[in-house]
Amino acid sequence: MSDSLHILIVEADFYRGISDSLLEGAKEVLDRVDASYEIIRVPGCLEIPAAIRFAIKAMEFMGGRRRFDAYVALGCVIRGETSHYDTVSEESARALMDLSTDYCIALGNGIITCENEDQAWARAKKDDKNKGGGAAQAALDMLVVKEQFGLFPR
């Protein structure tokens, strides 16, 4: 795989401390492979798929030149007292899956869904479950799969 990888990380601001911790794990993995990355922040997890689609659309306007090699989605959804948790977790996951299959992109889904804040922190911390790092690694691994099908490099 090329050492000039450029990754888009989309981080949801809701539960900012948790998502920042996810971001640290993702950056560590990408730094290890000398990938460059851009970080954009959106209000919440439901907005992450739209931001990724905006990036894809912007690339279409640039004559098909691929600006990002892969995408990493980072955010947190914690169950509350209403059914909003179900909507956010299911719809963000569905939209990310649709993007990855419809547009053939390498994407790591680091939107964690938890019952409480303690679970969220355990999943977000680099020295614990490191789901941010896992999402970045998944994106890199999917680039390898794309390469096996002749779809990478750009």
Query: In 34-96, which ranges are E strands?
Result: 36-42, 70-78
d(CA 153, CA 58): 19
Count of CB atoms within 10 A of residue 91's CB?
13
- Choosing from 84, 91, 115, 154, the catalytic residue is 84
For this structure, is 6 an active site residue? no
Integer CA distances (angstroms), 67 to 60, 61, 70, 121, 150, in order:
10, 11, 9, 32, 18
Integer CA distances (angstroms), 97 to 18, 73, 105, in order:
23, 11, 10
Count of CB atoms within 10 A of residue 2's CB?
14
Q: Which residues are catalytic?
A: 84
